[in-house]
Amino acid sequence: MRCDVVAIGTELLLGQVIDTNSAHIGERLAANGIDSLLQIKVGDNLSRMISVLGQRIEQAEAVIVCGGLGPTHDDITREAIAAVMGAKLVEDEQVAETILHMFAARGRRMPMNNLRQAQVPVGATVIPQTRGTAPGLICPVGDSVIYAVPGVPHEMREMLERAILPDLRRRAGVDSVIVSRVIRTWGDSESGLGERLAGIIDELDEPGRPTLAFLASGWEGLKIRLTTRAATSGEGLAELDVWERRIVERIGSIVFGYDDDTMESVVIEMMRRRGLTLALAESVTGGLVAARLTEVPGVSDVLRGAVVSYATDVKVGLLDVPAGPVVSEQAATAMADHVRRLLGADVGLSLTGVAGPDRQDDEPPGTLWVGLAFGDSVEAHLVRLPGDRTQMRQFSVITALDALRHRLVTRTSPVTPRAIAER
């Protein structure tokens, strides 16, 4: 069964609002074994909405329409669906009563335009609203169906799970599920991974095998997504386990996590399990590393603090960086060693470099020195990163944390990244 997605709203086309709803719907359809081949955005224009919905319902057995169910003059999804159905809109007394009760319970006067949300095409079934005022709709069109849900994300998601996905599975007679696993890596390019995994990719191209896709995700890393269809999620996950092991054996230590892991969550957990604390000295990243780490719940038991030593005199006066170039091995090691001492941490991590667009200390944009003070060792590593100023700074964050991850693995324990991710 095919179910396409139509997102309604001129604000989506103008880029004023990011369409996260379609992505979520697509993910949930895939997880429930429903094919979704097309996602479209259309503005608040009745004729265009009717045209798009008519085309979609001719090519797909189901369409989910998201947005345009509110009380204002530009909320015209109901009118468009009614036109495609060839049906009239009538007021649903129960929906109207529910809306009136919601306002009364809040002690608020109800603007009468809210009753627009009680207009339902003849022949449609209402999906009762539990979190707002606009109900959803299940609208038969011949042998096909149009589902309408509000554009407010938490309202849409609740209706999708409660009413739409069960109805789609019933209509499709789905007896399988689609399961995925994401292997997160850092340290090789997409083409480099493709070359290293060439033989495995060839095997996966055979019919009935899981599919493999690369997803370049900026400072979230380069993801390898494995997807398969199976009778149960347990069977699917067992199949993915086999291929995951082969992939990890092939690419080794560049794997840092799985699924919802992030580089920062993995590093923090590694340090927490070893009872280690961390101090940061950031120049080129201007506090981005600390910002990412503090997104991890409970990080305060690991992260002692950070010094954003952007100006040269701060590096020299606060972190004892020696006179000379500040984009250098000497500067990176001094920053890591002295911030560790300054903040009383076990580990010091520093970043100094050139984000661009101009050269600094005769170094080109993209230059990054990562300093590490760990145990009795203080060292620095030079990396050349691609991208514009923003990309370079973001890549610097994950590169520095990855350097720390490798040091934690090689110096303190033979624990593998997979074992870390599973704990």
pLDDT in tens, 290-311: 999 999 999 999 999 999 999 9
Instruction: For residue 28, give both structure tokens.
Output: 């949930």
- The label of the residue with tokens 């514009």 reads 388
Determine the topology of domain 177-258 in CATH: Alpha-Beta Plaits (3.30.70)
At residue 411, the pLDDT reads 65
* Structural domain spans, the chain: 3-172, 177-258, 263-422
* Cis amide linkage into residue 121, ω under 30° from 0: no
Residue 101 CA from chain centroid, whole number: 38
Q: Tell me what pLDDT residue 413 has.
A: 37
Phi and psi, residue 288, nearest 5°: -65, -35
Whole-prediction pTM: 0.76
Under 8 Å between Cβ of 288 and 219 = no
Across 291-420, the runs of DSSP E, i.e. the strands, are 303-308, 347-353, 367-374, 377-384
pLDDT in tens, 206-246: 998 999 999 999 999 999 999 998 888 899 999 999 999 99
Structure tokens at 113: 């335009």
Tokens of 345: 């941490």
Residue 43 burial (C-beta neighbours within 10 Å; 0-12, 13-18, 19+): middle
Supply the CATH classification number for the domain 263-422.
3.90.950.20
* The length of the chain, given as a count of residues: 423
The percent of residues in the chain predicted with pLDDT above 70, rounded, is 97
Alpha carbon distance 49, 365 (integer Å): 48
- Distance between CA atoms of 346 and 276, rounded to whole angstroms? 6
pLDDT in tens, 322-372: 999 999 999 999 999 999 999 999 999 999 999 999 999 999 999 999 999
Contact between 143 and 61 under an 8 Å Cβ cutoff? The reply is yes
Convert the pLDDT of each residue in 309-333 to its tens digit.
999 999 999 999 999 999 999 999 9
Strand pairing partners for 282?
Answer: 308, 351
Torsion over CA: 377, 380, 381, 387 (sign): positive
Phi and psi angles of residue 213, each rounded to the nearest 5 degrees, phi first: -140, 145
Residue 159 CA to residue 21 CA, distance in Å, equals 12
3-172 folds as Molybdenum Cofactor Biosythetic Enzyme; Chain A (3.40.980)
Instruction: Dump pLDDT digits (tens) for 155-202.
Output: 999 999 999 999 999 999 877 778 899 999 999 999 999 999 999 999
